[in-house]
């Protein structure tokens, strides 16, 4: 299938597919006329790439998954190389959550502060 057909099949854009190719995530065959040609296995690959990117992984992170992008990565086992990427990303997310919890608590305290002052001024 051609690039437009693959884009329609997986619900993405031609531009996204070209980006995946540019990043080394997708490798089409080239026809004699220079057109990109994709076989049916590329549908699963592109769906997996899109899934991984939606999880917050970068294109660079997704490269660790290249050996297993043909497989069902949702229900299948994690590739050993990709487990390190997922663990690293999880650590980053947990650190961000902790930092946001601190900000959240400070905002809650900031909102409570004026109420205390208002309450005190009405009592005097």
State the SS3 of 5-72.
HHHHHHCCCHHHHHHHHHCCCCCCEECCCCCEECCCHHHHHHHHHHHHHHCCCCHHHHHHHHHHCCCC
CATH architecture, domain 3-123: Orthogonal Bundle (1.10)
pLDDT in tens, the chain (124 residues): 999 999 999 999 999 999 999 999 999 999 999 999 999 999 999 999 999 999 899 999 999 888 888 877 776 667 777 788 888 999 999 999 999 999 999 999 999 886 655 555 556 5
pLDDT at 59: 94
**pTM of the complete model:** 0.75
- Burial per residue of 44-63, b for 16 or more beta-carbon CB atoms within 10 angstroms, e otherwise: ebbbbbbebbeeebeeebbb
Which of 59, 29, 25 lies closest to 45, judged by CA? Answer: 25
């Amino acid at each position: 299938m051609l690039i437009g057909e693959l884009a329609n099949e997986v619900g993405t854009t031609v531009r996204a597919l070209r980006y995946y190719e540019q990043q080394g995530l997708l490798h089409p065959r080239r026809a004699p006329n220079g057109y990109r040609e994709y076989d049916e296995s590329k549908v699963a690959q592109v769906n997996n790439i899109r899934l991984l990117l939606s999880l917050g992984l970068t294109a660079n992170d997704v490269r660790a998954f290249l050996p297993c992008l043909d497989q069902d990565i949702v229900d299948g086992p994690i590739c050993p190389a990709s487990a390190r990427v997922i663990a690293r990303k999880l650590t980053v997310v947990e650190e961000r959550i902790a930092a946001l919890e601190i900000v959240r608590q400070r905002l809650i305290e900031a909102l409570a502060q004026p109420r205390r002052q208002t309450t005190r001024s009405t009592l005097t």
